[in-house]
Every structure is written in C-alpha cells, then in structure tokens.
Structure 1
C-alpha cells in the first residue's frame, strides 16, 4: 500500500515559536504533520502561513487543549480515524506558570554564561498559575502519551520527543526529597512523580515554597517531564523516547529575550524525531548534546589521552580539543608534558586542555590519576590508550636521523618485559581504573592504539594464535598465559624455535594482546563503544620518523572512533578508517 510508507507526526502548541518551526521542518522532511493549538483562530492562521510556503499537502490543523482530558481523547480519535497510526509525537505545549517581567528578564542576562539571575525579580507566581503550569507542561504531555501509545505502537519507528528545559535539571531542585525521588531512575514511577507534584502544590498553598527548598512551578514541571521521559522509555523499549532542551530560544514565553532563532531551536527536537531505530532512548539532550538529568557540567565531554606529549598522542589531544572536548594530556615526563600543554595553549586551546603526569607502567600512578579524574570531572567520556614503546633500542653507533636498519636493533628480555608492561598492561590497567567513571558517561568510548603488526597472521606460534583468535572464549587470564609463555621463551632464548615473531617481537605480541583485550572489553561492556586501530605508518619518534603519513593523518582515525555516535560498532579492529580482520 502506498499509504504504508507515509509517516505521521503530531506537534502540540504549534501555532508559533518552536512548535511552529518544528512542524515546518518535519513537513519539509516529507512527514504529514498535525499542527495543534488551543486557540483555533491562531492555529488556522499558522496553517495558512505554512500553506503559503508550499506545504499544503503536508500539514493539517486540529484544535487541541492539552490541559483538557476530553480534548485529548477527541483528538486521539481524530488521529486514529484519519491516519490509523502515529509515528512521531512532539510534546511542545508549555506555559511559564508565572507573570514574566520582560524588561527585568532582558536586564538579567539570563541565558548568558556565568549570569547569576534572581528569578524572584522576574517571575511573579500565584497558586492558580502554578497549578495550571503543572497541568499543562507535565500532565498535558503525560496524557498525550497515554492517549497516543496505541497508535504509536502501530508504527515501525515510534518516536516521542518531550520539549524540556535545562531549568528542569535536578541541580535546580533544592528540595532534597524531590530531587532524590526524581533522580532515582531505577525506581521511578508515575505515582512517585505524582507524589512530588502533589507535595509541591500543597507546600505552595501553605506558603512554604522557600522553607521547603522548592523552585518555580516551571522548573518542577520540566523536572517531572524529564523524569517521565525515562519512565516511558523503560516501559516501551521499542520506542525512541527522549527529552530535549532546545536552547535559549527567542519566543513569546521569554519576551523574545533568547539567544537562538526558532529555526535553531527546532533543529534538535526534529533531529530526535527523525532518529534511526537504533538511536538512543530515555536520554536528556541540551540541543544536540547528550546531557545528564542532574549535573551542572553535564553537557561537557571529557577525554584522556595517554602518551600525549608528542606524535600521534599530541595530535589526538589537539583534534579532540578542537572538537570542544576537555582533554587531559598525559605524559610520563612532567617537563615534556607541560611543554606540550604550552604549545596547545599558544594555539588557542587553553580552556580545553589540562596536563597530568602519568606513567601507565606504574599501577600507583594510574590509581592516583583515576582519583584525579573522578574528583575533577566526575565522569569520563573518552579514553584513548596511546602510550606505547618499541621494546627495542638502537645500537649506540647509529647516528640521529638515520633510518631503521633491522640489524642495528637490540632486543633483550628487560626491554621485552617493559614493552608488555607499557603497551598491554598499561592500557588494560587504565581501562580497569577508569571503567567506573566511563560508566557515568552517556557515550563512553575507549580507543586502543594498535598496529597492523599485531594481526594474528604475524603470530606464527599456533598455540598463541589459537588462543588470541578464539573470540568466543577469550579472557584476560588466557591473554596473560600467552604473554607469560612468550616471556618464558624469550628468557630461554627459544623465540625462533617456538615460532614467535623475531623482529620487534615484544611490540608485535603486545599489540596482538591489545587487540584481543579490545574484544574482551567490548563484550563485557556492550553499552560502550570500544575499538582498536592501526593509525597507519606515521612519522613518529618510535620509527625515527621513517613513516609515510604525517601525525595529523595518523590521529584522524583514532579521533573518528572517539567521536562515533551511540549505537556505532564496537569490538572491531580498524586499519586507519577501514575495518580489518584481527
């Protein structure tokens, strides 16, 4: 059937502002949209505007008052009769719940970074306005969802987008009991949200808002909407249900004192409405960035890059920081690390990069560093395990600037042991130490810098190849066994007879182990995105700058993996940007 491919959307409170622009953008994407408004005259005028812009076949109007249960029921019946299903519901209708002094709002600097705003000078609340606000902003959205779930279940790509606000994050709810209830994702229920709203209105009526630590009705209503988003997402796992703060947009609600245009404001709800079926659900976005439901610094993303004072590591730091991420540049040598930091600061990245000394071969150094991350940032979004050494040294008589002559490379047991401790166990301990803070991220990423030399085709020892290549049965203990056997054979001088790699032996084995560990981690943490990558043959100190690629190109593939969207592949080995076999 031709009609089966059509997609249908409903946008509430859509006769103006963000709602109107959301309708326009969805219709421009080929979706049939029902523009709804409480005021029929204004709704029809909005419809005519869209028709004049060439969207006649894509937009219809229906009167709707989300604060009136009978109006919602009637509208749900219309949608069922007219379309037979619904694909997208955007709950946009909302009111401030107070009389807003536009001049005071403009003078306050509200919406600007660092502004301290006394809301009592801007909003005048009454009990009646507060009750109406909660009825519209929260119960209106909730009743719309309840009424339209049966029709959304008939869609093969059901989406619910609840327009929220950064004002509704839990940091803005001083009442500890309410904050605890709304922040307890595991035990959230409709009834518990009702309890919070009932208590708020009771305290409002009794004149105890200030003494009980309550914010405005608007803040409480949006905190409730955010909580309900998580409830619905959990209840309907096949739906994509998210809430979003579209930014501080110029609308009538704020007397056009916002910073963004309505076109910019509508972009993020529309993006969530058009998410693919494997897109995220149950999250809170501030514009296009995943945020948390509680933290002030929630929109910021934090990364750690090991071995970052030079080469690929340094360039990864620079590229991540240039993407707006706060990056911790680490190095074993404090002096060199601080010099690298200064270089980045001179290039205008002062606010995005910090330095911390770290020796990945020292468990105590890793523990201390993990404590710093937890205390300083509270979470981690990206870990790039880049620190690595060659496990060899050059003959003393080889001059600086000379290329690599295999016959001049010296391998010994101590260098091999140090190589495994740094390249494999350093990366593994970093992952283990930082897993707990990565789990607090909404988009955790681990990128292990590996090498094509670590491919199993370079491990001729059949026993070792069999263990490291058995993805189903791989464990940390099995990798340990391989490395222990390698070092034992190295010490006994039997590398060649046991068919271990003889050129860059420890380096090759360490990278094969890292690749195996990447698969173990990816399986263990399916919500993470964990991959390993060979950045190519890059000009670095480790190869005495005999590589082919500049560091900028070498860093681009690890950075791409660090910035992958949620739902991207995990547990893979890449050679530059191409997936490779192990």
Structure 2
C-alpha cells in the first residue's frame, strides 16, 4: 500500500526521488527527514504498515508532507520488493537515491548496561549482554545482506534512468575485517581485484554452516554478534563489487556512528539526526565525485585537534572518534588534557584517543607534536585548528557580582583589552594556526584525503572591520598572499599600541578577536589555492556555550562540533577555500 498527502503535487514539482528502507524509526527515519528537507521526494518504507504510516504522520510536523510517500516493504519478500519497484516505475518513472537501511541484530539484547560497559572496555560475560540462535543469525544475514542485494537489483533499472544515481548501504564498524579472526574470510573480502558476488556467498554459507554446527570459535568466526558482524562485512564487500560493476553510479557504504536506536537499547552516543547526516551527505554527492567506499576504510585515519580539553574542541574529538578516526587530543595544560582523555573513555573509545601536550604559540612544542605524529602514526589526515582566545581581560569579581543580581549578564561589559592581551590573541588565533599548518602539511601530504579545518567566527566577517584598506586587502582573493595578511596584522597591532584604533577604522570592541578571525579566514583561502589537492575550509560553528563567552551561547557543544566534523570528513573532490557558517557556505 502507498499513501501520501499530496503525491501528485510532490511528483510534479520535485526532480529527485529516494527510497529508504527500514524507515519508520531510528536512522532511517532521520534520513527521510533530512532528504525531504533538501527537497527530495522520499518513499518511506517499513515492514509494518501501521508504524510506517505513523512515521509519515509524525514527519508532517516538520512541514514535509508534500515530499513523503509511504509504501510497505519487506526486503526479504521478493513479491513485496517487486510491488515497490512497480509503484516507483508507475508513479515517478525513475529513482535517484536508494538508501539500504533495514537491518536486524541477529540476536537478543538482554542488558543494555552490560553492552555499554563492554564498549567502555570492561570485561563482561557475553551471556549477560545477549544471545544468538541459529534462526536469528539466519534472519540477520538474510535481511542485512541478501535483503540489500534483493532491493538493489530490483531498483537498479529505475536508478539507471537517473542522471545522478546514488546507492548508500548503511553498514557498521562491526563489519571491519579486523573483527573477523578467520583468515580465509578476511582474505576473500579484502581482495578487491578478485572479489565476486559468488565468493561473498561462499563465505556466508561457510559461516552459517559452522554456526549451526557450533564451530564458531574453533573456525575463527566472531563470537559476539557474529551474524551482524559477518553480514555487515559482506555488505561492505558487495558495495565494492557494485561500484566496479556500475561505474557511473555513486555507490558507497557508511557507518553512521554509534547512534541511540532501539537496536542497541539506546546506549549509543549520537542522536538520530547526527547519525543520519553522513548517509544524506553521500546521497546528495555531486556527480563530479568518484564512487568509492570512503567511509569504510580498513586503514585508520588520524586527526589532530588543538585546544581540545574542553568546549568545541572536546566535542570535535568525541564526534571524530565516533566516526572511526584516531584522534590526538591536544591541550596546553597537560593535566587538563589527560583528564579530557579519561572523560572520553566513558564513551568506550580509549583505544582511539591519544593525548599530547601542545602550545600553538611555541614552535618547539609544535615540533615535538609533529615528531610524535611522524613516529607513531606515520601520517596525518585531519588537522583541526580550534585553539583560540578572546583577546580580552575580564573583571571576574564585577561579573560575578552582576550575575548575582540578574539571570542574564553580557560579559563583554566587564571586559577590556590591552596590548598584551591583544598581541596574545593574534599570536594564538592566527599565527598559532599558521604555524600548525606549516608544521603538519608534510604529514598531511602523505594522506589520500588531507583535510584542514580552521575554526573561525562570523565575528571575523569583513563587514565588522571599518578600515577600508584592510577590508580591501583581505577580500581580494586573487591577489591575497600570506605577506599581505601579515601587513594587515602588523598595521593593526601598531595602531593598537599607539592608541589610534578608532582613528584608523579598526573595530571598537573585541578588536583583536575580530581581526584575528578575519585573518584566519583569509589565510584559509590562500592555503587552499596553494594546496589544491587538500580540502581546506574555515567554519564558524555558531554561538556555542563555552568558557570563551562565559556560557551565554545558545548552541550545545555537540551542535557546534557537528559542522566542524562534517568538513573534516568531506569526501575527496569536495569544495575547498570556503567559509562556512555551520553547514552553509557564507560570505566573508
């Protein structure tokens, strides 16, 4: 059955059509919401018709009813799959996006707390966490692998009618080959050149046979969530095969992170909206980008985040780790940095977070970190320049007294600037980021997907700088150089020292912060032109509650970190040299 509030209106106005399986709740529901918010007509599918219709009804609250259609679907039932394909052909005449999200765990979860303790690195009796039977394991492989194959093959003819066909297979880090002790199975799945659909089938049949006979551990198969692990590993392998077979399609698999869903008893770290972000990004990739399995890589990615013991930097570390990145969390204060790493261990990521002391204003400290990365990791994939200061001194006693009298107090009324705080701000926010880039570019050049994300601010928009000469220099993208940025900063510091800020048209308040962030955004453009194979962008994460603004922001740390992490994980070929306000490209 298919229903929509205004199917005819949607089909006449929209140009892109998507099918999302297992979409009545969880990540699938989030993917539908985000795709529809991007103007895509979405066929929300679910095995249970009543739940599917309720999901469509709940999405009406977001004003998306004209872009949503429901159709019942059981990916394990060929007749159900055929009915959906016929519906798509009749109603839309083509399909642009297929998101294979429907999946089951292959077992019964008994204790969510035990699962969380296990993820946190504690030794847990697996029988406490849950159990699996042969029947449940069979159902898991049938749904997670063969169900995906069935729906994909049925809808490929309709995807071939699209000018931008996309297939996104929702996978998991559980399917990483390192989780499969069986050497033969690992070899089959990792041999991309010789991988075939028949070889995948052979591995799955051997696994199921050994499971039935009770030989999992003896034969080197996973013992925890075995069917889920094998089905997701097989799905990743199938993704590669299909991408080779149909090169003009974009076909990728993605682990959305450890998301709070019914599947894990809501013990995940990420929200549904956070988990659905990456699948939707893949669904909306531009045609110029290659089809590759870039979100499921056996080779680790390594990131350095500066100023990361708290605030946005800490949130960035947490989200990068959740996406499978090994992160070097850095902080000027060693004690606070180590405490931050310990705090991250609560999320079960102790093997993916390293700490290294770093003062971005000290060349020797930067050199020490670079040597550490080179020795222990051999390369760097992501550099996030987050360390920053306000450039002001605050009368904390007066601020505290004011807060006792009023709930809301603007801390800036109790802040003042002097030359020392101004010079420290420029040295940290601009030259610190520049020194980091210069030191780590050689290690980033060893990556196949180098990313630099400079955390900037809309405070650094050129409209906030009255000085016409400075605005002209920083806005002239074609002629902009590092030397010209230096000239602007030297002139600003000289005018501050001489007490002629207002006379010479510099910002009257938070001047060092504004000028340092404007310079950082300008430097981002210069660097992007200099290194066209890199993806280098600046981003304002929004007005986030942090110590820097005495927690008067309106966004949470996780919300602020989200836009930075999105840029850090952009696919190859993505835009470079831009300034973003959160997730949108913005003017400078």
TM over 0.5: same fold?
A: yes
Cα pair distance change 1:220/1:328, threshold 3 Å = closer
Give the Cα–Cα distance (whole angstroms) in 2 for the partners of residues 343 and 51 of structure 1. Answer: 49
Alignment partner of 1:64 out of 61, 73, 98: 73
Residue 202 of structure 1 corresponds to 209
2:303 corresponds to 1:301: yes
2:15 corresponds to 1:16: no
Residue 140 of structure 2 corresponds to 133
Q: What secondary structure sits across from 1:185 in the alignment?
A: coil
Residue 225 of structure 1 corresponds to 235
Q: What secondary structure sits across from 2:267 in the alignment?
A: coil
Aligned residues: 420
Given that 1:538 and 1:551 are in contact with CA atoms closer than 8 Å, whether structure 2 keeps it comes out as: no
Give the Cα–Cα distance (whole angstroms) in 1 for the partners of residues 312 and 333 of structure 2. Answer: 14
Given that 2:15 and 2:40 are in contact with CA atoms closer than 8 Å, whether structure 1 keeps it comes out as: yes
Given that 2:188 and 2:199 are in contact with CA atoms closer than 8 Å, whether structure 1 keeps it comes out as: yes
Q: For residue 126 of structure 1, report the CA deviation from its aligned partner.
A: 1.6
Task: State the Cα deviation string for residues 345-393 of structure 1 (Å, max 9, x = none).
Answer: 779998676479xxxxxxxxx9x99996465125421589xxxxxxxxx
Given that 1:344 and 1:350 are in contact with CA atoms closer than 8 Å, whether structure 2 keeps it comes out as: no
Larger radius of gyration: 1
Moved more, 155-164 or 20-29: 20-29
Given that 2:195 and 2:241 are in contact with CA atoms closer than 8 Å, whether structure 1 keeps it comes out as: yes
Give the Cα–Cα distance (whole angstroms) in 1 for the partners of residues 98 and 169 of structure 2. Answer: 8
Task: State the Cα deviation string for residues 39-79 of structure 1 (Å, max 9, x = none).
Answer: 23333333344456644322222221111223222321221
Q: For residue 224 of structure 1, report the CA deviation from its aligned partner.
A: 1.4
Q: For residue 193 of structure 1, report the CA deviation from its aligned partner.
A: 1.8
Residue 36 of structure 1 corresponds to 45
Q: What secondary structure sits across from 2:486 in the alignment?
A: coil
Residue 182 of structure 1 corresponds to 189
Cα pair distance change 1:6/1:554, threshold 3 Å = closer
Q: What secondary structure sits across from 2:76 in the alignment?
A: coil
Residue 503 of structure 1 corresponds to none
Given that 2:259 and 2:275 are in contact with CA atoms closer than 8 Å, whether structure 1 keeps it comes out as: yes
Alignment partner of 2:160 out of 150, 153, 160: 153
TM-score by length of 1: 0.58
Give the Cα–Cα distance (whole angstroms) in 2 for the partners of residues 189 and 554 of structure 1. Answer: 52
Residue 485 of structure 2 corresponds to 536
Give the Cα–Cα distance (whole angstroms) in 2 for the partners of residues 533 and 568 of structure 1. Answer: 24
Residue 281 of structure 1 corresponds to 291
Structure 2 counterparts to residues 38-437 of structure 1, below 5 A:
38-51=47-60, 54-101=63-110, 104-109=111-116, 113-215=120-222, 216-279=226-289, 281-285=291-295, 292-294=296-298, 298=301, 300-302=302-304, 324=317, 326=327, 342=332, 354=356, 373=373, 376-381=376-381, 435-436=445-446
Give the Cα–Cα distance (whole angstroms) in 2 for the partners of residues 342 and 55 of structure 1. Answer: 47
Residue 15 of structure 2 corresponds to 6
Cα pair distance change 1:428/1:52, threshold 3 Å = closer
Cα pair distance change 1:213/1:7, threshold 3 Å = same
Q: For residue 90 of structure 1, report the CA deviation from its aligned partner.
A: 1.0
Give the Cα–Cα distance (whole angstroms) in 1 for the partners of residues 575 and 28 of structure 2. Answer: 35
Task: State the Cα deviation string for residues 502-539 of structure 1 (Å, max 9, x = none).
Answer: xxxxxxxxxxxxxxxxxxxxxxxxxxxxx996672169
Moved more, 30-39 or 132-141: 30-39
Give the Cα–Cα distance (whole angstroms) in 2 for the partners of residues 11 and 349 of structure 1. Answer: 41
Cα pair distance change 1:105/1:19, threshold 3 Å = same
Given that 2:356 and 2:369 are in contact with CA atoms closer than 8 Å, whether structure 1 keeps it comes out as: no
Q: What secondary structure sits across from 1:264 in the alignment?
A: helix
Give the Cα–Cα distance (whole angstroms) in 2 for the partners of residues 106 and 349 of structure 1. Answer: 24
Unaligned runs of 5+ in 2: 1-8, 321-326, 342-353, 359-366, 385-436, 455-479, 497-511, 529-535, 538-566, 580-584
Give the Cα–Cα distance (whole angstroms) in 1 for the partners of residues 281 and 575 of structure 2. Answer: 21
Given that 2:380 and 2:443 are in contact with CA atoms closer than 8 Å, whether structure 1 keeps it comes out as: no
Q: For residue 88 of structure 1, report the CA deviation from its aligned partner.
A: 1.1
Q: For residue 140 of structure 1, report the CA deviation from its aligned partner.
A: 0.8
